[in-house]
Amino acid sequence: MPLDSAIHPALPTDHPLTTRDASRSTAESPLVTAYRGGTPSRTPVWFMRQAGRSLPEYRAVREGIGMLESCLKPELAAEITLQPVRRHDVDAAIFFSDIVIPLKLAGVDVDIVPGVGPVLGSAVRTAEDVAALPQLTDEALEPIREAVRLTVAELGSTPLIGFAGAPFTVAAYMVEGRPSRDHLGPRTMMHSDPEAWGALAAWAADAAGRFLRAQIEAGASAGQLFDSWAGSLSVADYVRHVQPHSARALGHVRDLARAHGVPLVHFGTGTSELLPAMRDAGASVMGVDYRLPLGEAHRRLAAAPGPDGRGAVPLQGNIDPALLAAPWDVLEAHVREVVEAGREAPGHVVNLGHGVPPTTDPDVLTRVVELVHSLRP
């Protein structure tokens, strides 16, 4: 179940969101201001997968070191997280890790196979398989906390965003045992054995929630829940079989969001039809992929207020990653359109509509940041 805030303390006084040290405070940073629906001092921008294969300095420090090993070396994870901030002057760092790290720390047999992705030693497909899963302990998350502490110590007033994989995406990998194109396994399981699916999704939700909370308590100023594969679901299946578990994951940090204004972002790919339902899982900011114009995303959210009365929320997105390799005049026009469309929402953080392609020229990203910063908030 979500952690009890009476047992687990709120943010410490030296946390970047609560500190009175102006050189380390992120509370009035452009990113947090926009996430909270305010007017920032400059238009904030960061990129999903900005810490990664597009950077030669990343490839250099990762040479000969496996992906999961890199994530669990605090000094290395911190260095990789910081690299794009130094190079691009983005308005946030995104914690370098992987969505299957909570599985690894819990003791699940999983690895990242080059050219394939996450592969489990054995798939999780029955109630017995779920019951045999080990639980992620608070102590196992210490390497994550240490990496966050090291990162935040170097970031100053630039916020760190923590992240976790959403329960559906993580559970989909667990059911299939490896990446899948159509996610038939989990989609079938939620109908053929809904109790086993519910138990697995709850396990994934608690692992994600604990992972995310560890990052925020250690110094992250915001959190993002990634649901890479939710776009394969119908609205009905999402609402019935997935939304409660995403809400459970975010429930682990909801007390921090309420008490300290920690922004919680929910992002998925191919999820244009799911935006209101994803918002209603508990996010305060919605990430929008490149398939839907930001203006239309805003209108859909505003027209469908949730049970708590919320409709429109700040948005994040949504430059098409494919255009990073287009001629500059084409990319520039597109970036300007995205920034202009984002003004319809209560707040806007510029990002890609998915992650940075590994073949991207880093100088193009730097130039995009300079352009975004030149445009009025």
Tell which phi-psi region holds residue 361, choosing left (phi > 0), alpha (psi between -120 and 50) or beta: beta
Active-site entry in 24, 42, 53, 240: 53
Active-site entry in 62, 240, 254, 310: 62
Structure tokens at 247: 């809400």
Active-site entry in 91, 98, 227, 280: 98
Active-site entry in 173, 213, 227, 238: 173
d(CA 213, CA 248): 12
53 is catalytic: yes
Q: Can you name the residues that pair with 117 across neighbouring β-strands?
A: 113
290 is catalytic: no
Active-site entry in 36, 49, 213, 248: 49
d(CA 44, CA 347): 10
376 is catalytic: no
62 is catalytic: yes
98 is catalytic: yes
User: What residues are annotated to the active site?
Assistant: 49, 53, 62, 98, 173
